[in-house]
Structure 1
Amino acid sequence: MRCWMIGTMALALLAAGCGRQDAPPAAPEPAATPVANGPAALPESPTVKAIKRRGRLNCGVHQGLVGFAYTDNRGQWRGFDVDFCRATAAAVLGDANAVRFVPLSAAERFAALNDGRIDVLWRNSSWTMTRDAGEGFVFAGVNYYDGQGFLVRRALNLNSATELTGARVCVQSGSTSQANAADYFRSRGIEYRPVVFDTEEAARDAYNREDCDAFSADISALAAARTVLSNPNEHVILSDVASKEPLGPVLKAGDERWAATVRWTLNALMLAEELGVTRESADDLAKTATDPRVRRLLGAEGDFGPMLGLSKTWARDAVSAVGNYGEIFERNLGSQSALDLDRGLNAQWNARPAGLIYGLPIR
């Protein structure tokens, strides 16, 4: 019996050994390939779906601020923020004209986001902790670094806003300007008389009527206001900067992929200037460029647009529509405009002198 069991076990082991020799080696497990719609990817954007379904972007803008958002004598919207609206539409829809501009006052702008009347607010709005952490809005970046200043009549011969003791200062309600002016004078122990208006235009008109001794707002807004006063050369913006005002696009919280879409559209325009990609050269460079950074930006290499649910040419479409950041600036605010503002802090990070504009890498 024992001999039979030993023989049986030997036969089994021999058979197993022969099986191992005859069977092909097991193929290695394939490495997992990440996919765009995998569990780590951002969920599909309901905002982008809604924009594509209706065929247009609803973009909140200023009611009328020269250089930033205004209608020309043909009723066409123009301006720095307007061009960013058009660039966003081009990135999402491939059509820079597929935009409905929604003019909003300072008091209306955030309610319009919450109510869903607009998809994005491209209106000179300051990124503050209260708006970000307290009220829960999402700022997708900074497209203009500004500061609050003071516009006064040249005839007053003032050298500084600290000389405005007892002065009437026009400000707009519902904006950071009112609080900043109060902080500026209180921190210096200076008495002043705030004269508050519902809109920036009303505050400017009151100053023009001499109902105020000074008008306080973002320096860019003061430069715009001065161009429409009765005698622009009779007014001067004082050198004092009362606050930091980082202005940029605002979105309703809860749609991370839409926030990423606006953020990367803004960065693509900044990066295009840094890399020398212009409105005129974008299409040609997509075919001829050898710099991998340019090729990725223009969709000739990689699948960066599809990460956002957009086409591969999303950034090229935006640049081809309105130009790079520098072109947008010069046309609306800089040397080609009535405002003739210096780039200042809004120069590229590697310019001379350097500014704060720094496009994040597409890679």
Structure 2
Amino acid sequence: MKAPMEDCYCRSLSSENIEKAFDFCSGDYEACEIYRNVFNAHDVVSARANKNSVAVIGLATGSERISQLQARQELAMQVMELLENNPSARNMFRDFIFMLRSFCAVNDITLYILDGDNHLHQEIVGCQGDEVTELIVPTKLECICGKILDGEILDATLTRNDTGVYWTNDRTNLSSDTAVGLNACINTCCPEQACGSLALIPVRYQGRIVGVVRINDPRSDLFTLDDIRFLDGLCSALSVIVGRARAERNREYAEMIVDTLKSPIAVIDGDFVYRKANVEYLRMVGQTDAGIVDRKMADVVGDEVFASVYRPLIDRAICGERVREKVSLDFCDHPDTPCDLRCIPHFDAEGAVDAVIVDIHVLD
């Protein structure tokens, strides 16, 4: 297996696709099929810098306002392309913040995202200039963003709209508690700042605040109400990325479990295609990993066995039911083997079944 290039997106793909992805890593970016077809935020930002484009926020009138609206449309289109063509949700956070800072032409932007329902740590992505910094903070955030994540209502020295966005165009007018809270960050992604403009935009997922986008700039009177509405709508795309990131993490955990268990286990998607199989399952069907992944289950176990044994149980699991039946299966070295066959639905971050885990236990 070839090693991936240093910045190649292949590094971030799930293990079910990683070997195939590495085959494209020739060491030449122009020849890498993965790298050529994924979304690249650096290319977007470089192209924008060459056009001397107007920032998407800030008061603009006349022809400059028309240019600003065009820039907003361009940014929205780039975000849509990011959601469609980036194979890694974790890279999406970085690319989104990098593009947003460039299009807004502000001093720095920081994103705080809770890792999941257990909130064991926070993932922090900060962008200052062309540098993106990513950190994992294993403790609760003590800054003002941590208060927003906890659902606290901030004091009235910060303007708040009906969707929960806080902002100010003059930080010198903030209360002492709010000013201290803003500069209480325990990381370098969000530098201290005593004056200028600030926006704090909550990121919601399944009705809960799971993140905060913090926009800082030393200029006063930067934001208009129209800017705040635009930024709030644009950052709603982060909820999609949060869902994908959690689904990625769930798949990775499921794959690790499949690899460690000793009973034959396979992961089947909604189209009855193999996505993963452990060594015991491969031994049972007499196949290699390359010979089973991305193939229809019926092509491996046979149409008759699939239709009479597997299909009815998998159909029920796809509907969310945990299914368990005693069946007789043919192993390569042991035909007509009594087994306990379990089909377990695997749920994505949205609560939908995205795969079925087929678990086989041989009965004594």
TM-score after normalising by structure 2: 0.28
The structure showing larger relative contact order (alpha-carbon pairs under 8 Å, at least 6 residues apart) is: 1
Larger Rg: 1
TM-score after normalising by structure 1: 0.28
The structure where strand makes up a greater share of residues is: 2
